């Protein structure tokens, strides 16, 4: 029991998993409130800005958060204290990018709304959203620092604070509007999103300052902060070397998902569905079945966040036995989780679709997508392990191959086999991705084992 209490992966995973489930529960009821306050049309308009938000986060923050986490863990292991250099380097890249991205969204909001999103009513929402982009970048970089230090309490707390602030802000503004006899605009939801990012950013900055002040009591400032004699140049090179492939990976993912969103209903019409049926089938698949399948992924996501700095630290210390043991243990438990969930979804998927969603089609999708679980949950953690080993470029290539395969099924299988062709494509791409990840990890471990056992000349 004492060993479990002192194990950072177990404790950190528990913290992040509990926080993830709480946030999802809050978000579930928040969605219900939004749908009742703004109606289906308002919700539809609100959903249109999500691709802009996802793409801006991918461009400005996601890759840098992961890179900061990895290199903070590595330098903490080598220098025996948390280093601020990866945070400062990543932050100095991410913040200017986020300010530029926010300016572009603000300046060209009308063009994005009318010509790209094809809904001019999203223009005012985009102008509000533009201010949240730099806030999110600051928050994400600091979270990466704390993940690298294995201090998951701060990111977990800011995640909950962000969600609670968002809901409280929207509820207060809606209550005020209803009290004045007015119907609130859907823009209120974006105000809430921006307010949540603002508060969580301030909390994360205060936490980072408190952590730095605490480190000063035990370590000299010259050891923590970068010096001229210890240039940031190599740190910048390391951060960019990892962040750029990750950023490209996420952008490709977002672009391909956007193409899927547009193409699947169109290909279903070629199969023989009318427009209403095609959109309905796609809506049941992506809006009901897939979120149900991804719900247990909160656990594997938590494991993945903490695996990266742990693998990076062990790799930096040359402890490849620890890397191998952590990898094998993670693969085993994630595969067992996936098999268990697959059985549950197969046995009870039909009931869940009919009772929870009032849709037999959703039940069919849940049962079919349940076969994804062993590979879906495994791929999530394997990706994190490979990132911790510095193989971001390999991950990008493998994801590009599998996403291209999935898109090929959208264009060529759906017109002939219907939505079943798309489900086959998802399953096949996840299986191939898992195999590629495992082969890549095996090759790396075998290579390092050979280097360590080779006789010295």
Instruction: Tokens for 180, please give them.
Output: 């004045």
Coil, helix or strand for 185? coil
Alpha carbons 347 and 265: distance in angstroms, whole number: 29
CB 64, CB 239: distance < 8 Å? yes
Phi/psi for 332 (5° steps) reads: -60, -50
Mind listing the pLDDT tens digit for each residue in 339-372?
Answer: 998 999 899 888 887 877 677 888 888 898 888 8
Instruction: Tokens for 382, please give them.
Output: 């394997």
Residues ≥6 apart with Cβ < 8 Å to 444:
386, 389, 391
Give me the sign of the Cα torsion angle 433, 437, 443, 446.
Answer: negative
Question: Measured between alpha carbons, how far is residue 158 from residues 19, 57, 63, 214, 361 in Å?
Answer: 10, 17, 19, 20, 38
Residues 138-164 have a mean pLDDT of 83
**What confidence category does residue 107 fall into, taking pLDDT thresholds of 50, 70 and 90?**
very high
Average pLDDT, the chain: 78
Give the chain's length. Answer: 457
Count Cα neighbours of 266 within 13 Å in the Cβ-side half-sphere: 8
**What confidence category does residue 6 fall into, taking pLDDT thresholds of 50, 70 and 90?**
very low
Tell the burial category of 105 from Cβ atoms under 10 Å away from its Cβ (0-12, 13-18, 19+): buried
Measured in whole angstroms, the distance separating CA 391 from the mean position of its chain's CA atoms is 18
**What confidence category does residue 230 fall into, taking pLDDT thresholds of 50, 70 and 90?**
low
- Higher confidence at residue 77 or residue 158? 158
Instruction: Tokens for 327, please give them.
Output: 């990898």
Instruction: Tokens for 45, please give them.
Output: 């308009």
Least confident of 36-40, 88-92, 366-370: 36-40
Instruction: Tokens for 109, please give them.
Output: 């909001």
Residue 104 pLDDT exceeds 90: yes
Q: Give the model's pLDDT for residue 373.
A: 86
Q: Give the model's pLDDT for residue 227.
A: 47
Residue 203 pLDDT exceeds 80: yes
Alpha carbons 397 and 403: distance in angstroms, whole number: 10
CB 24, CB 298: distance < 8 Å? yes
Residues ≥6 apart with Cβ < 8 Å to 310:
8, 9, 73, 150, 326, 388
Alpha carbons 175 and 188: distance in angstroms, whole number: 11
Mind listing the pLDDT tens digit for each residue in 386-435?
Answer: 877 777 778 878 888 888 898 999 999 999 999 889 999 999 999 999 89
Residues ≥6 apart with Cβ < 8 Å to 245:
63, 392, 393, 395, 396
Return the DSSP state at 295.
T
**What confidence category does residue 135 fall into, taking pLDDT thresholds of 50, 70 and 90?**
very high
Residue 4 pLDDT exceeds 50: no
Q: Give the model's pLDDT for residue 353.
A: 79
Residue 23 pLDDT exceeds 80: no
Mind listing the pLDDT tens digit for each residue in 422-455?
Answer: 999 999 999 999 899 989 888 888 877 666 555 5
**What confidence category does residue 379 fall into, taking pLDDT thresholds of 50, 70 and 90?**
confident
Alpha carbons 304 and 434: distance in angstroms, whole number: 15
Most confident of 15-24, 298-307, 373-382: 373-382
Q: What is the C-alpha end-to-end distance of the chain, expressed in Å?
A: 46
Coil, helix or strand for 110? helix
Phi/psi for 313 (5° steps) reads: -65, -45
Tell the burial category of 47 from Cβ atoms under 10 Å away from its Cβ (0-12, 13-18, 19+): exposed
Question: Measured between alpha carbons, how far is residue 201 from residues 194, 195, 341 in Å?
Answer: 10, 10, 36
> At how many degrees (to 10) do helices 392-412 and 419-453 cross?
160
Q: Give the model's pLDDT for residue 119.
A: 73
Domain spans of the chain, in order of start: 1-230, 234-452
Measured in whole angstroms, the distance separating CA 434 from the mean position of its chain's CA atoms is 18
Q: Give the model's pLDDT for residue 262.
A: 66
Instruction: Tokens for 443, please give them.
Output: 């090759």
């Amino acid at each position: 029991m004492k060993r479990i209490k002192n194990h950072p992966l177990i404790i950190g995973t528990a913290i992040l998993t509990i926080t993830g489930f709480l946030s999802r529960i809050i978000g579930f009821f928040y969605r219900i409130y939004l749908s009742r306050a703004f109606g289906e049309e308002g919700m539809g308009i609100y959903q249109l800005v999500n691709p802009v938000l996802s793409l801006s986060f991918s461009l400005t923050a996601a890759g840098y958060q992961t890179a900061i986490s990895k290199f903070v863990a590595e330098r903490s292991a080598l220098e025996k204290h948390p280093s601020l250099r990866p945070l400062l380097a990543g932050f100095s890249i991410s913040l200017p990018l986020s300010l530029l991205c926010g300016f572009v969204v603000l300046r060209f909001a009308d063009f994005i709304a009318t010509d790209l999103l094809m809904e001019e009513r999203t223009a005012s929402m985009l102008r509000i959203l533009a201010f949240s982009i730099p806030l999110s970048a600051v928050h994400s970089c600091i979270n990466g620092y704390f993940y690298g230090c294995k201090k998951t309490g701060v990111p977990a707390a800011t995640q909950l604070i962000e969600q609670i602030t968002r809901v409280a802000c929207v509820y207060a503004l809606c209550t005020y509007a209803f009290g004045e006899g007015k119907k609130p605009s859907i823009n209120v939801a974006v105000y809430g999103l921006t307010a949540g990012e603002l508060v969580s950013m301030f909390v994360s900055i205060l936490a980072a300052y408190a952590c730095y002040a605490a480190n000063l009591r035990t370590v000299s400032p010259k050891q923590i902060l970068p010096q001229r004699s210890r240039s940031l140049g190599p740190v910048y090179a390391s951060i960019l070397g990892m962040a750029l492939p990750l950023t490209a990976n996420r952008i490709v993912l977002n672009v391909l998902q956007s193409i899927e969103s547009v193409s699947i209903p169109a290909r279903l019409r070629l199969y023989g569905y009318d427009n209403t049926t095609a959109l309905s089938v796609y809506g049941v698949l992506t809006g009901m079945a897939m979120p149900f399948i991804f719900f247990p992924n909160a656990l594997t996501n938590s494991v993945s966040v903490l695996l990266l700095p742990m693998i990076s630290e062990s790799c930096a210390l040359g402890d490849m036995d620890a890397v191998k043991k952590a990898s094998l243990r993670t693969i085993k438990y994630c595969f067992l989780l996936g098999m268990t969930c697959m059985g549950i979804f197969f046995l009870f998927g039909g009931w869940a679709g009919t009772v929870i969603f009032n849709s037999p089609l959703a039940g069919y999708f849940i049962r079919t997508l349940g076969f994804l679980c062993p590979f879906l949950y495994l791929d999530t953690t394997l990706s994190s392990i490979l990132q911790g080993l510095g193989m971001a470029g390999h991950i990008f290539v493998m994801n590009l191959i599998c996403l291209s395969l999935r898109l090929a099924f959208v264009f060529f299988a759906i017109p002939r086999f219907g939505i079943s062709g798309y489900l086959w494509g998802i399953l096949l791409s996840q299986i191939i991705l898992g195999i590629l990840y495992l082969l890549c990890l095996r090759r790396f471990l075998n290579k390092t084992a050979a280097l360590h056992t080779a006789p010295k000349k």
